[in-house]
Amino acid sequence: MPAGHATPDNPNAQTPLAPSEGSAVTEAPLVIDAAGWLSGGRRVESPNADERPAGEAICLAVIHAISLPPDEFGGDDILRLFTNTLDPAAHPYFAGIAHLRVSSHFLIRRDGELIQFVATTRRAWHAGVSNWQGRSRCNDFSLGIELEGGDAHPFTDAQYAALRPLLRALAERHPVQALAGHSDIAPGRKTDPGPYFEWPRLVGTGIPPRQC
């Protein structure tokens, strides 16, 4: 399901006076419920998550890119990695990662399908060793959003069309103040989402893009 269901009670869903603002007015709104799950979204629950530190505000959304095997799209190996069911013998690359205990809150596939692994209220294990504005352990206070892709590939229009309403929904539910790439919070160690990620396409989501 690329974009969830329209909710007629959202006054921002269609703005008759601003018909030319493109996708911002045509994308169906999404809702994150109080428990931290996307209403009506696909869930593949990951065990690789725990509680955030008490009182920690969720102030950052981190954009990642992933593909398994690397640079191959489709299939369910990302889902397997996040649920500790990846077969280390299925591909030479997998032997080195199948033992990892990692997750993200969301994955947006190439066709725009949105999958949630961890409730936003809980801590997903996506950032690793990281630092944002002098604060380490970014998993404590961030949301992780994986886009199926890689450093050498443009992302699809369907992915941006899913990401924008997701960011709006996250900003509605949590005090998200900033967006960052994994490469921004783990420089020298991570390169995702890579040079093809078009940050300007996130303008208008309610979160200032990459202000960190």
State the residues that interact with Zn ion by CB under 5 A. Answer: 64, 182, 192
Of the two residues 57 and 129, which places its CB atom closer to Zn ion in the complex? Answer: 129
Beta strand 122-124 pairing with 49-51: antiparallel
Of the two residues 130 and 205, which places its CB atom closer to Zn ion in the complex? Answer: 130
**Which of 21, 51, 56, 146 is labelled catalytic?**
146
Q: Put residue 199 in one of left, alpha, beta given phi > 0 → left and psi -120 to 50 → alpha.
A: alpha
CB count, 10 Å around CB of 188? 6
Shortest reach from residue 62's CB to Zn ion, in Å: 7
Residue 146 appears among annotated catalytic residues = yes
**Residues 6+ positions from 158 with CB-CB distance below 8 Å:** 2, 110, 111, 112
Of the two residues 148 and 192, which places its CB atom closer to Zn ion in the complex? Answer: 192
**Interior CA angle at 21 toward 20 and 23, to 5°?**
115
Shortest reach from residue 181's CB to Zn ion, in Å: 8
120 contacts 39 by C-beta, under 8 angstroms: no
Q: Which residues are part of the catalytic machinery? A: 146
